[in-house]
Structure 1
Amino acid sequence: MKTFDIAVIPGDGIGKEVVPEALSVLNTLAEIHGGLAFQFTQFPWNCEYYIEHGQMMPEDGIQILQGFDAIFLGAVGNPQLVPDHVSLWGLLIKIRREFEQSINIRPARYFEGLQSPLVHPKAFDFIVVRENSEGEYSEVGGRIHKDEDEIAIQNAVFTRKGTERAMRYAFDLARERNGHVTSATKSNGIVHSMPFWDEVFQKVKVDYPEVKTASYHIDALAAYFVTRPEQFDVVVASNLFGDILTDIGGAIMGSIGIAPAANINVNGKYPSMFEPVHGSAPDIYGKGIANPVGQIWTAKMMLDHLGEVELGQKLLEVMEAVLADGIKTVDIGGIATTKEVTQAIIQRLKNDKKVGRKLARKL
């Protein structure tokens, strides 16, 4: 029996609702597999924990998490209790940085049954590889003076090592997919870091002669994500550009609530972390209508990372089938509850199509 030890952090808001649903799906997959099991250890680290303890996780939180095979995160943030920059840097970003999760990957694809805002959506299926450790989100900078003389300085930091690492990850991924990498740049306006980015891209692509490439300025690329997303395969971008592009990816799918993400430690020294792109949505927490698809798709990405690619693909196919049947939460045009969507996925995984159709007719 192969057992994966997973650290689970439901976090805030709807994270506490959708994470248990995703765990139920993972346990179902383990039952189907037969020789696979998950050991889930949950940690109550969130904004409520901060109010009680003055920190988002205990002092030894990183040491506690280090021994797990992966980290499964829900959502972080409750600005009514804790400022966002405190909650994020105290938990999510702290884990990313200290576990050297230098790559963030976020897929976007067209789902049958999910209404895209695009007038004529084609079968787009791309993935954004985002540099996750430096770039525009570096901590270098500060604020000086006061009142009308106050100055805020934020320095973007691009290292050759970090930039090349993200690009090589993107090219390796493209080899497994459709053999095309697009680089997001802005070298016509950002005069130091982006020409550097372009130079590294030109150098790296020489080692991948079978992979086709393109390079677009970020403003044009953002527009192309809307007007012709089907042309993209793998897109590599800096920390900020990748963050923005992946929100567009969620939007053209029909909802950011279904978008997943993975924070990858590429050297195997520390666990990787998996989280949906959506936030904690405190306005709908407790109503039972939160969309679980983003968290469940995130579970699929974790399965891929753990080497269970076939199970991950099966889960993705089932998710798409359930959406095509019209079993959807309110945010994407349906009337199903969080649990009803999850149960439809579980029933289909068990190949009980009769029950799946009955639930679809009920909804």
Structure 2
Amino acid sequence: LLKLTDTELESLSSNHGLLIEWLAPHLPELKPLTELCELPTHSLTKLKEPGPHFNTAIPGRKLEQIEAFAAAVGKIENSIVEWCGGKGHLGRRLANNWQQAVFTIEYNGELCHAGELLAKKTKINQHFYKVDVLSANANRHLPKHHAIALHACGDLHRSLIRKAIDARSPAIDLVPCCYHLGHLSPQGKEEEYTPFTEGLQLRLNRDALRLAVTETVTSAAREIRWRDQEMAWKLGYDQLRRKITGNDNYKTMKPINKQWLREGFKLFCSHLAHRDRLELNHEIDWTHFEKLGWQRQNEVMRLSLVRNAFRRPIEMWLVLDISNYLSIHGYHVEMGEFCKRATTPRNILISARKRPF
């Protein structure tokens, strides 16, 4: 692992199948994971052209995701509820294609207002409701409607699943995301993930849930550089802290102010030391500790490949749990990839249709 070049590291990090193949001679137990993680591609419906200025407010990659989702959903026969819909871009696209009314549920009032202006401009029958989807107020919007959600995070997509089942929604199309977000007890403490399906024995904590969504295939090169720098500087500070305190145990760090990354390694460490109530002297060799940080970052990225081999399998387990739960509650369920992973690594679409009996 530690002998991998940067090019080899990048290649293995971005290709799960290749990573499993590379690790299999050393960990043969991993080999079945490739087949277990294979999914069919959703059949695509040809969409109507929406007009020259319909999508001007949508960033490029987001537009690709919306177009792919809309094509994979197939024919929509009921009015639409767009869950956590933001400005309503997805709902507006589907409404335009299928001539259905769309009701966009969004907590952020500014996004609702912006979406209303876009709907008016494009003459779409779209209505916005400022609603907390975790509240009971969201329930009344689901009966008799086709529920859609593209990248609803954590408790937000879990809420949709339960509420849509209770409302006997005729159709649900969901792309889950950020499984780790919001999974807390009423007291705000982290808890193990509670599966939808009873009797499952696998126990996943917040870190395991986060692992499923740590790929960076859609990140810009600049974002990746900032990520690498943050990791290296944190590890460099960790080496400094160990030297000063004599405590050789790793200490988990809280999220940082990203502005600190623009101020140089010395000030970055000063901010962290102030937060940790750690006194720094004037004789520190900052170049030395920054170099140590980059060395550790180099090692961590390579050693993490073994852990990363379980990213897609964990996500598959999570979406299978959701799909099984929907099936138990009377839905015909299909799972598949609605786009290439380069468009978004969260590319698993769960399509559920209420069975007539």
Is the pair's TM-score, using the shorter chain for normalization, greater than 0.5? no
Structure of larger gyration radius: 2
Normalised TM-score (structure 1): 0.28
Higher RCO structure, 1 or 2 (CA under 8 Å, sep 6+): 1
Would you tell me which structure has more strand in proportion to its own residues?
A: 1
Normalised TM-score (structure 2): 0.28
